Structure 1
Amino acid sequence: MGATPVITLNNGVTIPQIGYGVFQIPEAETAAAVTTAIEAGYRSIDTAAIYRNESGVGTALKSASVPRDELFITTKVWNNDQGYDETLRAFDASAARLGLDHLDLYLIHWPTPKRGKYLDTWRALEKLLADGRVRAIGVSNFLPEHLRAVADLGGTIPAVNQIEVHPALQQREAQAAGAELGVVTEAWSPLAQAGVLGDPAIARIATAHDRTPAQVVLRWHVQQGRIVIPKSVTPSRIRENIAIFDFELSADEIAAIDALESDGRTGPHPDHFN
């Protein structure tokens, strides 16, 4: 995985601590963006059925400059495909679009509690894991009560909970619940869609380290043990975002960023999104 550290999940599978997210990248631009990311050193690519760009990711993977076994590919089952049989069909469709015979990580995209299907969906993920179709399974946007409901099934504990985390929304309860169960937190929108990058505290820290504000925030994430999946289509920023493993924030700098919590959610609340 090059210079990027890896995190060992609760089933022994390792995942790079930084990955490349393709949310909101148009299908026509995805293959080129993913190719740039791989050439920049990313070995983890995060997509989802609802992003409608899995085929673009697949195109990039076919011509990738590194072997498949050095890449970590994640996708997610969408809300409309939840349920046991529906999830198995959705997985097959995603794998076909990606051009892969197995995935590294498959996630339930949202708990959608009003649908009442996420536990049946989880059982389908467990079957995919048992059948060797995927190396690890997890969830996304799960609150503590959703995580505990899955754990109470008595089967596989999710390897990952991918949630919105950034300095303005730190979701400490969800992170603590995950840590208690052995679930690694993966941060989507780790830069708050650039919304935190102009903060004076972050700017001061960036100046002190001769780094960009984005690099400082991503470094804040990784020093606290999270996986991060920043997204950009600009080649220079793609390269910049992964260049965060040759400097370190002090405890005081970490605390200054921790203090920026403001309940600044940029996406939907999991209890209300179906």
Structure 2
Amino acid sequence: MYNPVKTIKTNTVGTINMLGLAKRVGARVLIASTSEVYGDPEVHPQTENYWGHVNPIGPRACYDEAKRVSETLAYSYEKQEKIEVRVARIFNTYGPRMHMNDGRVVSNFILQALTGQDITVYGHGQQTRSFQYVSDLVDGLIKLQSSNYSQPVNLGNPDEHTIEEFATIIHKMVGGKSKIIHKDAVEDDPQRRKPDITRANHILGWQPVVPLEKGIEKTVEYFRKELMRSRHSERNLHYPLMESFGVNEHQRAEDYTDL
């Protein structure tokens, strides 16, 4: 929402660029779509056959509608240009190596709890989300890309929790003096979100295996270490001399991803 035009262009122009490249080299394209294509759903849980309930001019539309268009582009290229496509509708995912300031529910709650700030819940807190651990998602993406199935597939954990419950879980796990507080609701915030993963289970033989508590424990530990490093000026590393040696930003990120 901070830069809606760039968000739209990334998911539309960027997708066209990749599909065009796939056409030229004969590649199979994996589209990382999202549960946001379902909008604020009127069907629960959400199956891949559900068309969604999205406000096309709301504050979240720059992402929701752009992802919907990216799916449309993929299947248009599949039909017209015979490009192989795989479409994963990814539900909320968390885990180590998340950026601490990415604004997501998991990172917000954990960071607030670890730093002793109030844990901020927007709205009444009874809206639900289903969180999957990153290793489960990676496993599902690999299986989808390796399959012969081209229709959209939900990849998410059907273990549904309210935002209030989730805040309480993190608060108890981290401890400290943080309090759970409520602020005004976010416009067009989906009220219920839970994937139907029947298709993923039947077609790919996939289902999530990492329990929420175990995944949150690993993520909290990662964030705790990151905070310690940031206090010692070690978390955000800069290599000003590398450009002179012809090392680009993406290569540098790969070289130091395990630091």
- TM-score for the superposition, normalised by structure 2: 0.35
Higher relative contact order (CA 8 A, sep 6+): 2
Q: Please, what TM-score do these two structures have when normalized by structure 1?
A: 0.33
> Which of the pair has more CA radius of gyration?
2
